Chain A
Amino acid sequence: MTLLKKGFRFLASYELSVVLLALLLVVVFLGTVEQARIGLYAAQENYFYSLVAWFPQGAPVASPLPGGYLLSVLLCVNLLCGGLLAAPKRWRRPGLLIGHAGVLMLMGAGFVSFHLADEGHVTLFEGQSSDRMVSYHEWQLQVTEPGPEGRRFILSQDRIEDTPPYQWKDFTHPDLPFTLRTGLYLPNARPVMESTSAADGVALVPERPAENRESNLPGITLRLEGPGASVVDGIVWAGEQAPWVAEVAGKQYVIQLARRSWPLPFTLRLDKFTHERHPGTSIPATFSSALTVREAGAERQVDIRMNAPFRHRPHTFFQASWGPQDAREGEPLYSVLAVTRNPAEDWPMHASLVISAGLLLHFVQALLAHLRAEAKRRAAP
């Protein structure tokens, strides 16, 4: 037997399926119970989206486990090899093949969503409009030219977050008269006074990541090197009331960390937000946002409620929350619409149908076969 065949046989084996499924079960269990201690975000990052998970997360002594991402990839390979390619093709009993294909499709949808989907929100007070969706937890570094017509230069979080400590990463743009050097990016930070800091005596110190990922306030150390070896040092922190204004070559630039945002292909205006409670209680009965969608000069009305999103491919808008929670009668309310842009949005639905059909077919056929065998057994003298 060639090595290739041996490898394929291993990848297609029941043994591998059992081990991977059991490990995934353990990781899912640990990630679930750990949520009560470390919060959903940290549990997701450590247990479910990782190649290696550490249990207990954050402990000085922790055991390594295969992470959910790694296990999912291996399960896909195992499923493809064992559940489809090497599986016996009994066309009279196609249930398992169909079910396996559906699971593969579902996991494919998961991978596509994980890597390509964007999530954000549009938050509007009644009467307000917006044509952008804003990320919940991704940030971007913005450099804006002075003046109302000033252009904006953007560096996304993934380009600035990997600079090692005590090192710089350089960014240039032909229209900017300086080199932007980014230092250490801290996902959650707090500014402190430090006399030795070149950035006006202010430095950033790291904070423990917040349980709720949206509450993190990142910070980054920057250096602008302009013409004639001029150097301006500064820090930018997401919690600042006002952005950093740096002067280079006689021009002022506004530099700040802002939540990542994407343009929408239309404008949304919140006409009315309604929230009702069951009478005499604080139990929420319904939330809904009446909106006007303005696109290519035409307007139309849409209504978004719990369990009734608004779809405008590739975007989908959901009624997520509202505020201020302590608003009094008659005070203006805002509505938070969660937005997803997911190329695989419909795949899970289709995959679910395929899986359900496959399993139903398989188990019904198996039950009928069993009943026939039982009847034959009883009929036997």
Chain B
Amino acid sequence: MRTLARALMILLVAAASAPALAQAPRWPEETVRLFATLPVQEGGRVKPLDTLARFTLLRLNGMRVLKAETPEGRLRLSATEWLLDVFFRPELARTYRCFSVETGEVVAALGGVAHTKKRDRYSYDELAPHREKLMELARTYAELPAEKRGWMEGQIVSLGEAVVLFENLAGALDAVRRAHRFPAGSVFAVAFPEADGVPLSVVLKRMPGVLGDMQARRAEMSEEEARRTATEAGTFFDALETDLAGAWNLAIFPPESPEASAWRSLAEVAAAAFQADGPPYQEDPLLPLLEKLAAAAPASADFAAAARAFQTAAVTRAEARGEYRRVPLEHFFYRTQFLFYSQWLFVLAFLAWALTWAAPGSGWMRRGALLSLLPPLALLAAGIALRCVIRGRPPVTTLYETVLFTAFVAVGTALVVELVNRQRIAGTLGALAGAAGLFFAYRYEAREAVDTMPAVVAVLDTNFWLATHVTTIVAGYGAGLFAALLAHVWILGKLLRLRRNDAAFYTAVSRAVYGVLCFCLLFSVIGTVLGGVWAAQSWGRFWGWDPKENGALMIVLWGLVLLHARKGGHLRDRGMAAGAVLMGMIVVFSWWGVNALGVGLHSYGFTQGIWRNLFLFWGAQGLVALAALAPWTAGPGPTKQS
């Protein structure tokens, strides 16, 4: 216990000291805030630029912040600060070690020099000399079917994608950063006499007319003049295309027309000027503002003013479209870190419960520990509720949210059980489940590194069924896993001969296991039949033997096996404990295993690369369930229940 407490204290101290690493940001705070709340459309929804920055950095770096070597020394950059550097100081961002590479062998395979540390971060400048080789290998391996792609090949594909992602972001504003120059002898020199270069907005306004005129004069031109005109026009378009190469994905221009739903990127804004069959080109007022921003010296007062002007104009337009309302709330949600603090408060609550075991008779310590569960639970609830408001959806629509909700249900169940039986077991396990659940959510988010609030697919576009079927099923998962956790106490306690003479302790644990299993069964049955009714609404049949449906049915069937066997007198405490551990294994199969099968109608939940972890879990749990069969765990023989 002392060792555990010490380890937890070290973790807490490390967490508490983390903010001390932070240095004053190089970008003015106001500028960072303006960009963090700049609306951008990505993945089918409008979100703060900060969200895009966080998940992009997570994808590249494996962390939501970047510890970067800068001219000002070693800095801890927030995701938005990092993205500001990528946009406006790409030459500096290229030097940041933001590419997390699992093994130096990947870099060596490209012909580069691997760092001495096996798993390390590399800068773009380090990878750039080997870019061609990287892209060649990544393209080859990406064409392999996923099951034939080895781990190393997967790493190369992933690094290739990360490099392209970085290049696109670093080049997203190239077109407004570089002025177009038409030398004195050029066929375009008359139309563009500006000696110090022509900004993109001016080019887009004038060039279509200039090209139209040239087209009209084609008959009057000599062959030589026509050839030269065509060549120079080609050169212009090549240069424009190169400048816009990275600008296609960053949709920061809200459409002025209320009917249009797709926001435009800089490249789309530019392409609109040259659409032969499109409407006449009209300049987007945001474009000159963006040019001013790109022209200002980074982090200067001019930059701050230009950033304010651009952000205000973009926000005003997004607000007029009704698409900005939830952007500041989402920024607040991520900035406030509800889930991070909830996780660490669960760790503290666990410590509080651990202390109650040192003084079993103390009522006030138990009450204190009970109260310690409330703040993290409230923070978790607030986090879930905020996500509901931001998305306009019920609590669970993605796999990530199932983790949060399962943790919430497990802790809630623990609280209720603790209030009923006052044994301190449920409270302790509840704190542990909360901390572990949120840690798992954190790791899952980092592993997937994609927006956890994506647009929902058409078949899920029904808040009624999401609110009823999905939450009920996930509540069943939470209860099933908590029953398994409680059963561990029974089995491991018996196995290690803890509290050997305290029969009341084991009876209380056993009753709690039974009660929570009933809760699991109740919610699983209701959730499963509600799922069937939803399927009948969407697909025309109540039951289709889809893997996800079968997973839920398996939880129900195992719950029924346990309760009927107990009622029939064939299972008592030991059997129920082993059965509850098996229930945990079935819940994990239903929750994650069927997703990994990659077949069925629930394709929006498919997950890859988790079989190893699943088998490790099932193997460990199988051993625990087998441990229940050890002779010295036996209690009194089975008897018929009254």
**B518 at the A/B interface (Cβ < 8 Å)?**
yes
Complex: A360 Cα to B202 Cα, angstroms? 70
When the two chains form the complex, which single residue of A32, A283, A316, A352 contacts B540, counting CB atoms closer than 8 Å? A316
Taking a contact as CB atoms under 8 Å apart, the answer to whether A18 and B532 are in contact is: no
Q: Which residues does chain A contribute within 8 Å of B570, judged by CB atoms?
A: 14-15, 18
Beta-carbon contacts of A8-49 to B below 8 Å, as 1s and 0s? 000001110110011011001101110110011001100010
A335 on interface, CB distance cutoff 8 Å: no
Name the residue in A21, A22, A287 with the highest tally of chain B Cβ atoms < 10 Å from its Cβ.
A21
> Beyond A14-B570, A278-B45, A306-B538, is A32–B261 a contact (Cβ under 8 Å)?
no
Contact indicator A363/B560 (Cβ below 8 Å): no
Residues in chain B near residue A53, CB distance under 8 A: none
Judging by beta carbons under 8 Å apart, are B600 and A35 in contact?
Answer: yes
Report A-chain residues with C-beta under 8 Å of the C-beta of B530: 352
- Expressed in whole angstroms, the minimum distance between the Cβ of A141 and any Cβ of chain B is 27
Report if A363-B529 is in contact (Cβ < 8 Å); known contacts: A24-B557, A28-B554, A278-B455: no
Residues on B with beta carbons closer than 8 Å to the beta carbon of A278: 43-45, 455
With A280-B251, A348-B529: A307-B561 Cβ-Cβ less than 8 Å: no
Q: Considering the complex, which residues of chain B in the window 439-484 have a beta carbon less than 8 Å from any beta carbon of chain A?
A: 454-455, 457-459, 461-462, 465
Residues of A within 8 A of B551 (CB): 32
* Closest-CB distance, A238 to chain B (whole angstroms): 24
Docked-complex contact A119 and B540, CB < 8 angstroms: yes
Nearest-neighbour CB distance to chain A for B264, whole angstroms, equals 9
Q: Does A371 interact with chain B (Cβ within 8 Å)?
A: yes
Is residue A279 contacting chain B, with contact meaning CB distance below 8 A?
yes
C-alpha gap A366/B163 in the complex (Å):
59
Q: Are B461 and A286 in contact (CB under 8 A)?
A: yes
B420 at the A interface (CB under 8 A): yes
Q: Within residues 273 to 321 of chain A, which ones have a CB less than 8 A from any CB in chain B?
A: 277-281, 283-287, 306-309, 316, 318, 320
- Tell me the B238-284 residues at the A interface (CB within 8 Å): 251, 261-263
Give complex CA distance A48, B540 in Å: 19
Q: Given A40-B600, A338-B540, A367-B515 in contact, is the A18-B522 Cβ separation under 8 Å?
A: no
Contacts of B521 in A (CB 8 A): 359
- Residues B535-589 near A (CB distance < 8 A): 536-547, 550-551, 553-554, 557-558, 560-561, 564-565, 567-570, 589
Judged by DSSP, the binding face of A is: helix
Distance, CA A370 to CA B529, complexed state (A): 27
Q: Determine if A109 is an interface residue (Cβ-Cβ < 8 Å).
A: yes
Q: Is A113 on the interface with B (CB-CB < 8 A)? A: yes
Chain A residue with the shortest CB-CB distance to B537: A307
> Given A15-B568, A31-B550, A281-B455, is A318 in contact with B561 using a C-beta cutoff of 8 Å?
no
A25 to B524, CA, bound (A): 15
Cβ contact of A285, chosen from B43, B421, B461, cutoff 8 A: B461
A17: chain B residues at CB < 8 Å are 560, 564, 568
Q: Would B561 and A25 count as touching, CB distance under 8 A?
A: yes
Contact in complex: B540, A28 (CB < 8 Å): no
Stretch of B76-84, B206-214, B491-499, B591-599 at the chain-chain interface: B591-599
- Chain A residue nearest to B548 (CB atoms) is A32
Known: A306-B538, A318-B540, A367-B515. A279 touches B533 (CB 8 A): no
Which residues of chain A from 327 to 366 have a CB within 8 Å of any chain B CB? 338-340, 345, 348-349, 351-352, 355-356, 359-360, 363, 366
| Most chain B C-beta atoms within 10 Å of own C-beta, residue among A14, A40, A339 | A14
Which residues of chain A have C-beta atoms less than 8 A from B600's C-beta? 35, 40
Task: Confirm or deny: B490 has a beta carbon within 8 angstroms of a beta carbon on chain A.
Answer: no
A284 touches B554 (CB 8 A): no
B174 within 8 A of A: no
Q: Which residue of B lies closest to A318 (CB)?
A: B540
Contacts of B558 in A (CB 8 A): 25
Q: With A and B bound together, what is the CA distance between A143 and B557 in angstroms?
A: 49
Known: A21-B560, A106-B529, A363-B518. A318 touches B568 (CB 8 A): no
In the complex the two chains form, what is the Cα distance from A351 to B465 in whole Å?
A: 18
A171 CB, nearest partner CB in chain B, Å: 33
Interface of B is mostly: helix
Asked if B42 is at the interface of the complex by the 8 Å CB criterion, the answer is yes
Q: CB distance A35 to B597 under 8 Å? A: yes
In whole Å, how far is A229's beta carbon from the nearest beta carbon of chain B?
Answer: 50
- Asked if B525 is at the interface of the complex by the 8 Å CB criterion, the answer is yes
Within 8 Å CB of B564, what residues of A? 14, 17-18, 21
What residues of B have a CB within 8 angstroms of the CB of A110 in the complex?
A: 542-543
A374 near B: Cβ within 8 Å? yes
Question: Please, which residues of chain A bring their CB within 8 A of the CB of B597?
Answer: 32-33, 35-36
Query: Which residues on the B side are within 8 Å of A106 (C-beta)?
Result: 529
Question: In the complex, are the beta carbons of B458 and A36 less than 8 A apart?
Answer: no
* A352 (CB) vs chain B CBs: closest residue: B529
Q: How far is the CB of B592 from chain A (nearest CB, A)?
A: 13
Contact between chains at A280 and B599 (CB < 8 Å): no
- The answer to whether A18 touches B568 (Cβ under 8 A) is yes
A36 to chain B: which residues have CB within 8 Å? 597-599
Interface contact B458-A374, CB-CB below 8 Å: no
Q: Tell me the nearest residue of chain A to B455, going by C-beta.
A: A278
Residues of B within 8 A of A24 (CB): 557
Chain B residues contacting A277 (CB-CB under 8 Å) are 44
- CB atoms of A279 and B263 under 8 A apart: yes
Contact across chains for A280 and B263 when beta carbons are under 8 A apart = yes
- Residues on the B chain within 8 Å of A359, using CB: 521-522, 525-526
**Complex formed: what's the CA distance from A29 to B565 in Å?**
20
User: Which of B462, B522, B536, B542 contacts A360, CB < 8 Å?
Assistant: B522
Q: How far is the CA of A33 from the CA of B595 in the complex (A)?
A: 11
Q: Which residues of B lie under 8 Å from residue A43 when comparing CB positions?
A: 545
Inter-chain contacts of A318 with B (CB < 8 A): 538-540
> B245 to nearest A CB, angstroms?
18
Are the CB atoms of A285 and B458 closer together than 8 Å? yes
CA distance A280 to B454 in the complex (A): 13
CA A2 to CA B526, docked complex, whole Å: 40
**B554 adjacent to A285 (CB under 8 Å):** no
Complex Cα distance, B547 from A74, in Å, reads: 24
Q: How far is the CB of A166 from chain B (nearest CB, A)?
A: 36
Question: In whole angstroms, what is the CA distance A15 to B594 when docked?
Answer: 30
B458 near A287: Cβ-Cβ < 8 Å: yes
Q: Mark B505-535, 1 if CB is under 8 A from A, else 0.
A: 0000001000100110110011001101110
Q: Is there an interface contact between A280 and B42, defined as CB atoms closer than 8 Å?
A: yes
A53 CB to nearest chain B CB (Å): 13
Are B44 and A285 interface neighbours, CB within 8 A? yes
Of all chain B residues, which has the CB nearest A19? Answer: B561
Contact A349 B533 (CB under 8 A): yes
Give the CA-CA distance A35 to B550 in the complex, in Å.
11
Q: Check B565–A28 contact: CB distance below 8 A.
A: no
| Docked complex Cα distance between A277 and B41 (Å) | 14
Alpha-carbon gap, A210 to B564, bound state (A): 40
* B31 → A minimal CB distance (Å): 26
Whether A281 and B526, one on each chain, are in contact in the complex, defined by CB atoms closer than 8 angstroms, is no
Docked CA distance A231–B44 (Å): 65
Query: Which residues of A from 87 to 109 have beta carbons under 8 Å from B?
Result: 106, 109
Residue contact B567 to A338, C-beta cutoff 8 Å: no
Do residues B454 and A283 form an inter-chain contact, with CB atoms below 8 A?
yes
- In the assembled complex, the Cα of A175 lies from the Cα of B545 at a distance in Å of 45
A21 to B537, CA, bound (A): 28
A to B CB contacts below 8 Å, 14 in the list: A14-B564, A21-B564, A28-B553, A36-B599, A40-B546, A44-B545, A280-B41, A280-B44, A283-B455, A284-B457, A352-B526, A360-B526, A370-B511, A374-B420
10 A-B pairs with least C-beta separation: A278-B44, A14-B568, A279-B262, A352-B529, A278-B455, A25-B557, A32-B550, A281-B44, A284-B458, A348-B542
Known: A35-B545, A40-B544. 10 other contacts (CB 8 A): A21-B560, A280-B43, A280-B263, A283-B455, A306-B538, A318-B538, A355-B529, A356-B529, A360-B526, A370-B511
Which positions in A face B, CB cutoff 8 Å? 13-15, 17-18, 21-22, 24-25, 28-29, 31-33, 35-36, 39-40, 43-44, 48, 106, 109-110, 113, 119, 277-281, 283-287, 306-309, 316, 318, 320, 338-340, 345, 348-349, 351-352, 355-356, 359-360, 363, 366-367, 370-371, 374
